[in-house]
Chains A and B, each alone.
Chain A
Amino acid sequence: MLSTIGVNSLEDLFAHLPEDVRFRGTLDIPPGKSEYEIVDYFRARAAETAAGYASFLGAGVYSHYRPVMCDVVVSRGEFLTSYTPYQAEISQGTLTTIFEFQTMACQLTGMDVANASMYDGSSAVPEAAMMAIRVTGRRRVLVSRTVHPEYREVLRTYAQHQGMPIEEFGYENETGTIDTADLESKLDNRTAAVIIQSPNFFGVVENVSEAARIAHAGGALLVDVFTEAVALGVIEPPRDADIVAGELQSFAISPSYGGPFAGIIAAKEKFIRQIPGRLVGETKDANGDRAFCLTLSTREQHIRREKATSNICTNQALIALMATVFMTVYGKEGMRELAIQNLSKAHYLGDRLPRRFSGAYFNEFVVRANGRTPGQVNSGLLEHKIVGGLPLGRFYPELDGCMLLCCTEMSRRSDMDVVAEALRA
C-alpha cells in the first residue's frame, strides 16, 4: 500500500504537517489490554455501585423490566452499525422502524406527528419552547415549578442568549398540581408557551385540558412534558396540548447512570414544518411500492445552516428502536396492564404513608420523613440493601423534609413493606 501511494513509511504520510504541530511524546494511556482484562476492569467498577440493591428512585429515571427481545433486536449489526439513513434504498430497515416509532409516539401521546427522537427529555423541552416561539412569534416562556428541575435548568441554559425570557409559576400547596391562578396572573400577550409536566415531578397527574384552556385563552401554546412514559398506558393522553416533549427511558432503556436515553417531540399536524430533528416520511419507490425516506430536511442544519430549526444532527435512533421493540412486546393490552401494575404497586405503598400532596398520582409520590431527615431514613434503608427515595430539599427548599419515592412493576412487596416501616416509625 505504501508503494502504491509512493511513500516509504507511514510516518511519511504526515511529513507535510508543520513540525510545531506534531506531538512527539507518547500518550499517557496504558498499553492496549485484552478482552478479558477489559471485562474484568468494568466488572470491578460495576461492583463499586448499587448492584444488587432494590431501588425506590424515580425522578425522571425509572427501573422497569427490560424484555429480552429489546437487546436481541438492537444487537443486530444491521441496526447497531448503520448510519443515519440518508441512502434510502439501503436503509429501509431503519427507516421503517422509525416510521413505526413515530406512529406509536403519536398513538401514545394523542398527537398527529412525532419526530425520530431528540437527545433526551431534558433537551426536548427547550426545543419545544423554541418551536412554540417560531409558531407564535412571541418570545416569553412560562414553565411550571413541577417540571423536572434539571429539565428547567437545561431550558434556562438554552434560552439564555436567544432572547427567550423564562419565568416560573408555582404549584398548589395542598394538591401538588399547578397553581392555575399564578399561571393566569403571569400569562400575557408576549407568552409563547406554557410548559407543564404530567405526571409532574411530584408524580401528580395534571389536568392538561384545563392548562391548555388557560394557555390558549392567552394566545400561547401548551407544551406538555412527560418523564414516565409508562403512565401513558392508562392516563388520558395530552390531546389538548399543542406540543408534547417527553422522555422514553421507561421503555426498555437502562438507567445507565443517566444516559443514553431518548427524547421525543410530538405535535399537532399544523406545526409539522416547525418540528426540530429528523422526520421519516412515507413515499413510493420507482416500482410504485411503498418506501420510506428522511423528509422535510429543509428545516435542518445541513441544508439551512444558521437558519435551521435546530442544530441537532445525531439523535438517539438505536434507543428509539429499543423503545419501539418494548412498545411492540407489550402491545395494546400489555401497555395497559403494565401501567396498572405500576399504579397498584405505588398505591400499595403510597396510600399507607404520610403523603405531602393530595393530588392523584401514578407511580411516584412525595412523603414527609416524619421527624427525621430523608437522609436518615435512606441510611437506614441502605442497611436492608434498599436505595430509598430522592430527598427534595436540593430542588425545593420548602420541601426539605420530604422525599420522592417511586414504585414500578419491579418493586417487591417485601421491600415496600420495609420502606413503609422505615417511614412510619
Chain B
Amino acid sequence: MIKKTRQHISQNESLLFEISSPGKMGYQLPELDVPMMDPAEALGGNTRAEIEDFPEVSEVELIRHFTRLSTWNYAIDLGLYPLGSCTMKYNPRINEVVARTEGLAWAHPYQPESLSQGAMEIMAELERCLAVITGMDAVTLQPAAGAHGEMTGTLLIRALLTSRGNPRKKILVPDSAHGTNPATAAMTGYEVENIKSNEQGMLDVEALARAMNEDVAALMVTNPNTVGVFEQYIHKIAAIMHDKGALVYMDGANMNALVGIARPGDFGIDVMHLNLHKTFSTPHGGGGPGAGAVAIKKELEPFLPGPRLRRENNQWHWDYDRPRSIGRVRSFYGNFGVLVRALAYIMAHGGEGLKNATMDAVLNANYIRKLIEPYYKIAYQAPSMHECVFSDDYQSKKGVRTGDIAKRLIDYGFHPYTVSFPLIVHGALMIEPTETEPKQELDLFADAMISIAREIEENPAIVLNAPHLTRTPRVDEVTAARKPILRWKKPAESQVRAKPGDLRPDVPAREPALPASVR
C-alpha cells in the first residue's frame, strides 16, 4: 500500500499589498509612438493621481507570490476531488491549447461575419453535438453557467405558456433540488412549491399528481437526482405535467450519468441545461468560468435568446430578427472560450468514447459505494448512477458529523465529498468520483473512509479536530461572517519588521495526528 500523504514544508506569503514597495515594477510598455496626452487636459481635470495603495512588485516577487499561493490549494491535478454534483473530472490540457489559438482567442465579437466563420462554425458544431447527446431539437450556447441556463430555460417556459394564453404561477421543485432551482424560479417571477421525495430518494409521483393543477407552469427535475438515483418514473412524471399543459425542465448537472445511455429528449424533457464545466470537462478554475448551454424541444425555439446562427449561401450569419425571443441573457454570444474547450473534449471522445466515459463514471461510483457501504449508511437502497450518497447516521452517534469526516479526509490527501447536501439526507456525504479516476486512487479513498470510520469508533477527537496535516488548521468561519473583513486596508501604524534571527520556522504546537495509513 502506498502512503498517500506526508508532511512537507509550506512557504508563508504575505498579501501583495504587504510585499509591495514604492517604485517597484514588473512591466515595460513600448515607447509611445504618438505625442503624449496630458490626462488633466484631455479629461478636463476629471483625473486621479494614482490608484491609492495599489501593489508595486517586481516580476520575480509576482511569480513567487502566486506560485506560493497555488501550493496552498488542492486540485484535480493532485488527486481525487469527489465533490458530488460537481463532476470534477480531469481537465484535458489540449483544450487549454486550442482555446488559445490566436484567431479564436483574439476574435472580436463585432468583427465582420465574413471574418468570423471559423468561430461560428465551432459554435454550430457544438450546438449540433449537444442536440445529439440530449435528444433535443435546438441548443443555445449563450448562458454563462448552470444557474444562468436555468434562468434562460424558465424564461423560455414562461414565454411559451404566455403565447398559449397564460404564463401560470408556480414551479414545482423537488426537496432534493439544487438551491439554484428555487432561486431561479423566484427570479423569473414564479412561486416555488416544494415536492417531497419518497423513501427511495425519488420524486413522489403521487405527491406530484396531487400538487399538479393548471396554476403550475413547470417541474424542475434533476435526473439522475441529487441522491444519484435515476428517476424511474420519469415518463409518468412527464405525462402528469404534460396532461395539464405544463412543461418539464431538467437540471443537467448530473448529465455525466447519461451521455450515450439515455437522452432527456427521449424521456419527456422539454427544456434542460448542460454544465459544460461538469460533463464536458472544462476547468472549474476555483469557481468558474462555466457555460450553461440550454437544449430545447422545437416548440420553444422561437423564444430562444438572440442572435441565432443561421446558414445561408454557404456562410454563417447571426440572425437578430427574433421578434418572439425572451431577449438576451448576456452580451455577445456566450462563453466562447469555454465552448471551444467543450467541443475539443467531445471530438477527443467521439460518440462511442462519450458513452464509455459515462459507463466508467457509473462503475467508479458503484465501486466506491460497495467498498464503504459496510461502514457508512447508504442514504437510499436504490441503485446508484454516477454518485452515491451516504448519511452520517452511524458516525453521529459518536458525535462526529459529515463535516468532521470531510475535514479528516483532507489529512488522508483527498478533497472532501459534498457535505450536507442534498438537504433531504440527514448529514449527507455525497460522493462523485467521475470516470477519470484510476482504481488505485479509488482504493486509497475507500481505505481512507474506512480508516476514518474506525478512528471514530476508537478516538473520535482525532476526527473532530481535523485537519491536522494541512498548513492551515480549521478556519473560523463564524467570526468571518459576524465581523466581515472583505478587503485589505493599510494598517494605521507601520508594522514592526522582524529582526535577523527572529525568523525561525514554526514549531508544531502539538504532535500531529497522522492517518493510520501514514503511520
B501-517 Cβ-contact flags toward A at 8 Å (1 or 0)? 00000000100000000
| Interchain CB contact under 8 A, A32 and B347 | yes
- Is there a chain A Cβ closer than 8 Å to B73's Cβ? yes
Chain B contacts for A79, CB-based, 8 A: 70, 73, 75, 285-286
Q: List CB contacts (< 8 Å) of B188-202 with chain A.
A: 188-189, 192
Point out the residue from A30, A117, A340 that lies within 8 Å of B36, measured CB to CB: A340
Q: Which of A7, A44, A78, A319 has the most CB of B within 10 A?
A: A78
Point out the residue from A5, A67, A157 that lies within 8 Å of B366, measured CB to CB: A5
Q: Which residue of B lies closest to A98 (CB)?
A: B286
B139-171 Cβ-contact flags toward A at 8 Å (1 or 0)? 000001111101100010010000000010000
Chain B contacts for A413, CB-based, 8 A: 33-34
**A1 touching B367 in the complex, CB below 8 Å, given contacts A83-B287, A84-B287:** yes
| Interchain CB contact under 8 A, B470 and A89 | yes
| Interchain CB contact under 8 A, A22 and B333 | no
Q: With A92-B69, A106-B487 given, can you name 20 additional A-B contacts, CB distance below 8 Å? A: A1-B364, A13-B359, A21-B267, A37-B347, A42-B344, A48-B118, A55-B108, A61-B110, A73-B70, A82-B73, A83-B86, A93-B71, A121-B331, A272-B486, A280-B486, A291-B472, A293-B477, A298-B481, A328-B16, A344-B32
| Interchain CB contact under 8 A, B289 and A82 | no
Q: Which residue of B lies closest to A2 (CB)?
A: B363
| Interchain CB contact under 8 A, B284 and A258 | no
Total A-B contacts with CB atoms under 8 angstroms apart: 647
A306-328 Cβ-contact flags toward B at 8 Å (1 or 0)? 11101111111111010001011
Closest-CB distance, A168 to chain B (whole angstroms): 15
Point out the residue from B122, B291, B328, B473 that lies within 8 Å of A89, measured CB to CB: B473
Chain A contacts for B267, CB-based, 8 A: 20-21
Chain A contacts for B328, CB-based, 8 A: 122, 150, 153-154, 157
Residue count of chain A within 8 Å CB distance of chain B: 194
Q: Which residue of B lies closest to A119 (CB)?
A: B144
- Is there a chain B Cβ closer than 8 Å to A171's Cβ? no
5 nearest A-B pairs in the assembled complex, by CB-CB distance: A318-B285, A258-B332, A46-B103, A77-B77, A161-B189
B97-133 Cβ-contact flags toward A at 8 Å (1 or 0)? 1111111111111111001111101100000010011
A94-115 Cβ-contact flags toward B at 8 Å (1 or 0)? 1011111011101110001110
- Is there a chain B Cβ closer than 8 Å to A39's Cβ? yes
Point out the residue from B69, B100, B291 that lies within 8 Å of A96, measured CB to CB: B69
Point out the residue from B15, B67, B118, B350 that lies within 8 Å of A76, measured CB to CB: B67
Which one of B178-186, B389-397, B492-500 contacts A?
B178-186
A334 vs B283: C-alpha distance when bound (angstroms)? 31
Chain A contacts for B261, CB-based, 8 A: 14, 17, 22-23
| Interchain CB contact under 8 A, A73 and B188 | no
Chain B contacts for A232, CB-based, 8 A: 51
| Interchain CB contact under 8 A, A29 and B27 | no
A9 vs B197: C-alpha distance when bound (angstroms)? 31
Chain A contacts for B287, CB-based, 8 A: 83-85, 94, 116, 278, 314-318
**20 pairs across A/B with beta carbons < 8 Å?**
A5-B367, A10-B362, A29-B349, A30-B347, A43-B101, A61-B332, A73-B70, A74-B285, A98-B286, A108-B51, A205-B44, A257-B119, A257-B337, A258-B332, A258-B333, A282-B480, A329-B27, A331-B24, A343-B39, A361-B42
Chain A contacts for B108, CB-based, 8 A: 50, 55, 57, 61, 63, 255, 257, 387
- Is there a chain B Cβ closer than 8 Å to A90's Cβ? yes
**A27 touching B111 in the complex, CB below 8 Å, given contacts A281-B486, A314-B277:** no
- Is there a chain A Cβ closer than 8 Å to B476's Cβ? yes
Point out the residue from B90, B110, B337 that lies within 8 Å of A260, measured CB to CB: B337
Point out the residue from B75, B187, B476 that lies within 8 Å of A283, measured CB to CB: B476
- Is there a chain B Cβ closer than 8 Å to A289's Cβ? yes
| Interchain CB contact under 8 A, A91 and B34 | no
Point out the residue from A31, A282, A304 that lies within 8 Å of B351, measured CB to CB: A31
A81 vs B42: C-alpha distance when bound (angstroms)? 44
| Interchain CB contact under 8 A, B285 and A107 | no
A162 vs B477: C-alpha distance when bound (angstroms)? 33
A287 vs B362: C-alpha distance when bound (angstroms)? 41
| Interchain CB contact under 8 A, B333 and A82 | no
| Interchain CB contact under 8 A, A319 and B288 | yes
- Is there a chain B Cβ closer than 8 Å to A33's Cβ? yes
Chain A contacts for B107, CB-based, 8 A: 49-50, 255-257
Q: List CB contacts (< 8 Å) of A58-74 with chain B.
A: 59-61, 63, 67, 69, 71-74
| Interchain CB contact under 8 A, A10 and B363 | yes
A190 vs B421: C-alpha distance when bound (angstroms)? 40
Q: Which residue of B lies closest to A335 (CB)?
A: B51
A14 vs B383: C-alpha distance when bound (angstroms)? 9
| Interchain CB contact under 8 A, B235 and A18 | yes
Point out the residue from A38, A103, A328 that lies within 8 Å of B347, measured CB to CB: A38
Point out the residue from B67, B102, B129 that lies within 8 Å of A51, measured CB to CB: B102
- Is there a chain A Cβ closer than 8 Å to B48's Cβ? yes
Point out the residue from B43, B51, B147 that lies within 8 Å of A311, measured CB to CB: B147
- Is there a chain B Cβ closer than 8 Å to A123's Cβ? yes
Q: Which of A23, A49, A234, A340 has the most CB of B within 10 A?
A: A49
Point out the residue from A78, A151, A284 that lies within 8 Å of B71, measured CB to CB: A78
Q: List CB contacts (< 8 Å) of A281-297 with chain B.
A: 281-287, 289, 291-297
Q: Which residue of B lies closest to A305 (CB)?
A: B182
Closest-CB distance, A20 to chain B (whole angstroms): 6
Which one of B57-65, B240-248, B452-460 contacts A?
B57-65
| Interchain CB contact under 8 A, B56 and A333 | yes
- Is there a chain A Cβ closer than 8 Å to B174's Cβ? no
**A51 touching B106 in the complex, CB below 8 Å, given contacts A10-B359, A13-B359, A360-B46:** yes
